[in-house]
Structure 1
Amino acid sequence: MATEQRRKAPSFTPPQVLALGFALMILSGTILLALPIAHEPGQQLTLVDALFMATSAVCVTGLAVVDVATTFNTFGEVVMILLIQAGGFGIMSLSAMMFMLTGKRIGLQERLTMQEALGSFSIAGVVKMTRTIIATTLAIEAVGAGLLFLRFLTYYPPGQALYFGVFHAISAFNNAGFDLTSQSLRTFNRDPVILVVVALLILLGGLGFSVLQDVWRQRRWERFALQTKLVLVVTGGLLVAGTLLILVLEYGNPATLGPLPLTDKFFNAFFTSVTFRTAGFESISTGKMSYAALLVAIVLMYIGASPGGTGGGIKTTTFAAITLAVRATVRGTEEIQVMGRRLPRELLDRAIAIAAMAAALVVCVGGLLLVTESHLVSDPSNPVTIADALFEATSAFGTVGLTTGVTPHLSVPGRLLIALTMYIGRVGPLTAAVALAQRR
């Protein structure tokens, strides 16, 4: 009898557990955010808007159809930051935390799911890594909150400065991009301390916990794992290239970098390069950037963060693998070599699958937005262009959270479409596809 019951019990694969876990977190967040006790007096939130905001928070994106600061009261804002923290931790880190607190044994199924969630090559040490992730996250967020608190004291009373420091530190490290100022960080675009602290939190969150752990333990380049070296090289290259391109393309734009002194131009170009890849903070208006700069943004958002990090995108290692494969093809070599190591064929196949599925998703979502938002496309005063639609789709997939101004005006079908795209971007296109395709 017991054997028969076990046979009838549903068995989920690790990708399915991750997909269902995030879906349940979004559902819980939707219910809480839809409650009247979460809103400021006179404010109302439809169920679709609550779903959108919960999805954006859990998927650590930052796209918003309502203003967090004016729509939600303290309870609603706390719900938002808890959803962001839960989404940043990931469903399996939260599950592992509950197992540890209750003293339950973490079985093979849970370890396999942790491996999938962390992007690890082996289940060995995944429980220990999960403990490290939780401790590291809380420690970095605490330091970031302290630094932001000290700086916010120059703008706000102590209580508000502390609250703002904690909220924005969690939002930044988890690459969420939500703010409590109603203007993102544009108010502080001449304050390099706030820009640098938030940028560093975003970078640390996007590097991936395995990379942070490897750097902390080894502390010497020659001892770093291959993935750590690849992540650091690609991240550094994208950061430098992004900063220089934005600085050049927006240098004289009167609506963005133009009015700023040279030093502030550099800090804002650096900050924008960081936030383009993984987070939705703004120090200059994204919607007023040139099309050339928006194209740079789309490329950076598409690549995104690193495996095991809190950002989205196809990941830096995927981008590196495809770039190395192209280089090998141009040179006429069959083996893909990187830093004296051979890249296994199965990793390249996975990278190509992820990149192709991501590109197809972005193009399809962008095309559908042009259909669902036809009222905005034909608006003579401020028409939505193909560039705006592709930017919105890439931002949702990369869980970046930046917009050229389209998000607040989306129709109900458009909001549901972007919410689904954020969900796929957070879970991962390959993981989502496998979760749907595999039966056991």
Structure 2
Amino acid sequence: MKRLKLSPSTLLLFVYGTFISLGAVLLKLPISTNGPLSWIDALFTSTSAMTVTGLGVVDTGTHFTRFGQVVIMGLIQVGGLGIISFAMLIFIMTGKKIGLKKRLVIQQALNQDQVGGIIRLVKYLFIISLTIETAAALALSIKWIPELGWRNGIFYSFFHAVSAFNNAGFALWPDNLSRYVGSPIVNIAITTLIILGGIGFTVIADVWQKRKWKRLSLNTKVMLVSTVILNLILFLLFFLLERNNGHSLAKLSLSDQLWASYFQAIAVRTAGFNTIDLSGIDPSTAFLWMIAMFIGAGSGSTAGGIKLTTFVVLIVSMLTYVQGRKDIHLFKRTIRQEHVLRVLSITTVSSFIVVAGILLLNITEKLPFLPLAFEAVSAFGTVGLTMGITASLSIIGKLIIILIMITGKVGPLTLVYILARKQQDHYRYPTEDILTG
């Protein structure tokens, strides 16, 4: 890598590509499947697991053997916590020195603004992740060991705990988690994992260390408040839009309707789990879900999208301009203009990627517009929710979704950094305004 002189962004993309390819080869082995699996489907599944998306062209629980399922679980864990983070953990355990170049790569992989404290964050990342996943797996085993037996119950519990915390959405049942739509244990355990994985390791570490609201960072405060507000809004809107829909909530009891609305509101922005059949949801709900998936979860988390903090800064910036104020304020703190430009760049590039993906899918696929648009946004947000068309995509369509999933995982600006040349302006042109709006 030193001879190649790869930038942190390029190295991150290269490593992801390498692990996705390795995962595809492992999934193609006869020991991994119970039936034939094409190379494109192996690549698609490996990419979906590595990018913690959850879109599947074959049923994970029946098409793959236990070995194949372990491979998928391993890809989810590595993809969710970060390949670079695992590499750095090995350096830490072996006592090797971690130079500035390696720290910059970790910073890029974890989407952090500063290099300082990055090694400490990696240590917290692994301790927190393994602790939370183990605790959740034990909770799920209370439900699934009596149903599935000790061997399957324990494996199913750990598989879904890893999948949920890393916001992957892979499930071992053909109907995902629909059979547990009214189960309090499954609903609470899975959604808690999704929330903790979605708010980001930085937020969890900050709350754990400081434990007082006044001492929390601005990022942590914004994430906690906006997560609660957005989840509540999505819960209420989903319940109101779908409660009379005979293809989704109307056929359930009121208790199950509330559980389903709560579960989907939590899972829609980050994880591909579902407790109802999404192919029958109302178009208005599907569009609302696309907005939520595009927003995503926290920066530095296991989820994709433009990130919730990006969305908050975007909205606050708009309100600040409308009110005629100059400085952008959040929780009695001022947001620097550089961050506003970054927010605008992330949103613009992400919008172009999603629009381009939707356009290409509508050119290559003979399927309805809404399911294709839903699929593209879900892939970009690394969410994994689908309206039931994933397996029907052509080879070109699958390749398009693969590229969108990778872009959503590494981040749109990472690709821009790879393609663009950084240059310092040593001069300034005369100022002149243009007509806008």
TM > 0.5 fold call: yes
- Residue in structure 2 matched with residue 416 of structure 1 by the alignment: 399
Matched residue, 1:380: none
Partner of 2:171, secondary structure, is coil
Matches within 5 A, 1:184-333: 184-333=176-325
Q: Is the 8 A contact 1:19 1:435 kept in 2?
A: no
Matched with 1:381 is none
8 A contact 1:115–1:122 mirrored in 2: yes
Matched, 1:14 2:8: yes
What one-letter code is carried by the residue in structure 2 that aligns with 1:158?
W
CA distance in 2, matches of 1:306, 1:86: 18
SS in 1 for 2:353: helix
- Matched with 1:426 is 409
- 63, 71, 88: which one pairs with 1:96? 88
The aligned counterpart of 2:350 is 358
Question: What's the CA shift string for 1:248-302, capped at 9, x where partnerless?
Answer: 0011111211122222211110100111100001101111100111111001100
Separation (CA, whole Å) in 1 of partners of 2:115 and 2:56: 37
Q: Indicate conservation of the 8 Å contact 1:38/1:72, yes or no.
A: yes
The answer for the alignment partner of 2:114 in structure 1 is: 122
For the pair 1:54 / 2:46, whether they are aligned, the reply is yes
Match of 1:389 in 2: 372
Could you tell which deviates more after superposition, 116-125 or 294-303? 116-125
* Partners of 2:182 and 2:255 within 8 A in 1: no
How far apart, in 2, do the equivalents of 1:233 and 1:21 lie?
35
1:211 and 1:272 map into 2 onto residues whose CA distance is: 23
1:10, 1:29 → 2: CA distance? Answer: 24
SS in structure 2 at match of 1:259:
coil
Structure 1: state its 5+ residue gaps.
378-383
Equivalent residue number for residue 29 of structure 1: 23
Q: Deviation string for 1:155-182 (max 9, x for gaps)?
A: 2212111110000000000000001111
- Count residues in correspondence: 423
The match for 2:140 is 148
Report the residue type matching 2:379 in the other structure. Answer: A
Between stretches 359-368 and 255-264, larger displacement belongs to 255-264
Q: How far apart are the structure 1 equivalents of 2:265 and 2:374? A: 15
Q: What is the deviation of 1:98?
A: 1.9
For the 8 Å contact 1:278–1:304, the answer to whether it is kept is yes
Distance 1:255 1:347, change over 3 A: same
How far did residue 118 of structure 1 move? 2.0
Instruction: Specify which of 183, 205, 208 is matched with residue 175 of structure 2.
Output: 183
- Cα distance in 1 between the residues matched to 2:13 and 2:65: 30
**Inter-partner Cα distance in structure 1 for 2:272 and 2:334:** 36
Q: What SS class does the counterpart of residue 190 from structure 2 fall into?
A: helix
Given candidates 72, 75, 78, the residue that maps to 1:86 is 78
Give, in angstroms, the shift of residue 439 of structure 1: 8.5
Q: 8 Å contact 1:13–1:438 — kept in the other structure?
A: no
2:44 aligned counterpart, secondary structure: helix
Q: CA deviation at 1:406?
A: 1.1
* Runs of 4+ with deviation above 3 angstroms: none
Say what the alpha-carbon RMSD is for the aligned residues: 1.4
How many Å apart are 1:100 and its aligned residue? 2.1
Structure 2, unmatched stretches of 5+, are 424-437
Alignment check: 8 A CA contact 1:192 1:264 kept: no
Q: Deviations over 1:99-151 (max 9, x none)?
A: 12333211110111111222222211101110110111111000011001111
Distance 1:73 1:228 in 2: 41
Q: Which amino acid aligns with 2:370?
A: A
Contact in 2 for aligned 1:367/1:389 (Cα 8 Å): no
Q: Does 1:77 align with 2:69?
A: yes
Match of 2:147, SS state, is coil
Given the two structures, how large is their TM-score scaled by the length of structure 2? 0.95
Aligned-pair CA distance for 1:232:
0.9
Task: Measure, in 2, the Cα distance between the counterparts of 1:121 and 1:410.
Answer: 38
In the TM superposition, what is the alpha-carbon distance from 1:153 to its structure 2 partner? 2.6
TM-score normalised by length of structure 1:
0.94
Match of 2:55 in 1: 63
TM-superposition CA deviations, 1:4-28 (whole Å, max 9, x none)? x97xx22121111211111111011
Question: 1:58 offset after TM fit, Å?
Answer: 0.2
Alignment-mate amino acid for residue 420 of structure 1: L
Question: In the alignment, what sits opposite 1:343?
Answer: 335
Displacement of 1:88 after TM fit? 0.6
Alignment partner, residue 389 of structure 2: 406
